[in-house]
Structure 1
Amino acid sequence: MKKNKNIILCGYMASGKSTVGKVLADKLHLKYIDLDKEIERKIQLPIPEIFEEMGEIFFRKKESEVLKEILQEKDKVISLGGGTPVYGNNLGLIKSDRENILVYLKVNLEILTGRLWNEKNKRPLLSFLNHREDLEEYIRKHMFERNFYYLQSNLIIETNSLLPEEIADEIIKNLK
């Protein structure tokens, strides 16, 4: 891969952005940054507490601010939060630098529902959902709204049956 680029992973919650991001960065010998972890580090609170104490609008503003900072340096793999490309001018900010490569990790509804059902209590946007069917409908609605943004990625990887290492290899193959 040519230097002076950032590879930025986007996709819905539980699509594997963090897991794949770490594997990809390791394979490419690049620094890895998880945007949510960076926000937690700067505010010194976990994401659920940020949402609870300060609200989603505060979180989204901070998310944009931290994203802007992170994008200043190159040669990184960055995992975005599921909603990052949708809010404010985040997608425009990412796309404004042609050296940024935005990769959409596309996962089908059934797999996302299964993954998120098992961890919904750790995710502030899902904790109010009490039935699996409600979760599936919630994801379906969000995916409909977010696909417009996700589909503007430079690269779309269908990840349904792939292991994180295979997804990273597929990204690397498509970077050449």
Structure 2
Amino acid sequence: MKIILFGYMGSGKSSVGKNLADKLSLKFLDLDAEIESVEGKNIASIFSDKGEIYFRKKENEILKKLVAENGSFVMATGGGTPCYGNTLEYIKDQKDIKSVYLKNSIKQLTERLFAERAQRPLISHLESKSILEDFIRKHLFERAFYYNQADSIVDVENLSIPEIVQHVNEKLF
């Protein structure tokens, strides 16, 4: 089985993914880390040096390569991964992939992301919680169409990582 986690930045995809992979004795893949490894630079540098279109094409290419080259795994994607190109369609067409949307409230995402915005190039310039909240609200509105097509949706509001892993596990099996 291949499990791919969707969700907005700060929703816990990487933390949940690592824990879920451990629980299921599967390999864990972080799509952003794989892209950074292939490109030899961090995501922020790829965006600034080559632009978002280049990044999204590379993201799609590397995701497909990882799916083809790996057996069972749990993968954390970037927040925008299912929203560009044919990525979502590709994921949905694979018989051995189960996708899971880790759904968070705008309020909780704002609280989490405001504290760590300096490490996130997409939001590092946003100076107040209210501006960040508006930014997240707009993005979630745009991305909900894609996120909601996941095979399973897990509401992660106010849950610990082990609780989220348990809910994801229950949805999958």
Cα shift at 1:74: 2.7
Distance in structure 1 (CA, Å) of the matches to 2:117 and 2:44: 11
Report Cα offsets for 1:8-32 as digits up to 9, x if no partner. 0000000000000000000000000
Alignment-derived partner of residue 103 in structure 1: 100
Does structure 1 residue 86 correspond to structure 2 residue 83? yes
Does structure 1 residue 139 correspond to structure 2 residue 136? yes
Does structure 1 residue 16 correspond to structure 2 residue 20? no
Distance in structure 2 (CA, Å) of the matches to 1:109 and 1:173: 25
Aligned sequence identity (%):
49
Alignment-derived partner of residue 112 in structure 2: 115
Distance in structure 1 (CA, Å) of the matches to 2:27 and 2:171: 20
Alignment-derived partner of residue 63 in structure 2: 67
Unaligned runs of 5+ in 1: none
Cα shift at 1:165: 1.1
Alignment-derived partner of residue 31 in structure 2: 35
Report Cα offsets for 1:148-176 as digits up to 9, x if no partner. 00000111000012111111111112222
Q: Which runs of 4+ in 1 moved over 6 A?
A: none
Distance in structure 2 (CA, Å) of the matches to 1:172 and 1:35: 21
TM-score for the superposition, normalised by structure 2: 0.97
The CA RMSD over aligned residues, in Å, is: 0.9
How many residues align? The count is 172
Distance in structure 1 (CA, Å) of the matches to 2:91 and 2:24: 20
Distance in structure 1 (CA, Å) of the matches to 2:35 and 2:114: 24
Contact 1:48-1:122 within 8 A present in 2 as well: no
Report Cα offsets for 1:43-85 as digits up to 9, x if no partner. 1111111112111111111101101101112300000100000
Alignment-derived partner of residue 154 in structure 1: 151
Alignment-derived partner of residue 126 in structure 2: 129
Distance in structure 2 (CA, Å) of the matches to 1:28 and 1:79: 15
Distance in structure 1 (CA, Å) of the matches to 2:171 and 2:131: 36
Distance in structure 1 (CA, Å) of the matches to 2:125 and 2:92: 34
